[in-house]
Copies of this chain bind each other. A is one copy, B any other.
Amino acid sequence: MVVNLLADAEAEVDRIFQALADATRRDIVRRVIGREQNVTDLADRYAMSFAAVQKHVAVLQRSGLVAKRRRGREQLVGPVLDAIDRARTLLDEYEALWRGRIDRMDAILGEAEGSEAGR
């Protein structure tokens, strides 16, 4: 159903913003965009336990912004360019909305739908 598709899309946006709502995680994203890094290297940068950093990486992974790939005994954390680009586009859309350039888009996602009690 359309409602579920929308709900899924919204949930995905939720996860992306949620993932970015933590300074450590934003920093991790920056770092792995610079270069793939294993979890230990990442963990060494922050004043918290290895397991805590592991959890942050898991949150980012769930949001789709990063992914891990194995290399021997280590897991290399790297950016998922498609997802990051999706996030970027999403931010673009908010920017457009906020700038008020979306007079036409108002007709599309304006009054009609957003209201539905579907959550």
Contact = CB atoms under 8 A, between A and B. Distances in A.
A34 B106 contact: yes
A20 B23 contact: no
Given A97-B30, A99-B88, A102-B33, A14 B23 contact: yes
Given A21-B18, A119-B47, A27 B114 contact: yes
B97 A94 contact: no
B30 A21 contact: no
Interface class of chain A by DSSP: helix
Contact of A91 (B11, B81, B91, B109): B91
Given A34-B119, A46-B119, A76-B113, 14 more contacts: A17-B18, A18-B21, A21-B21, A23-B119, A24-B119, A27-B114, A27-B115, A33-B101, A33-B102, A45-B115, A46-B115, A84-B102, A85-B102, A88-B95
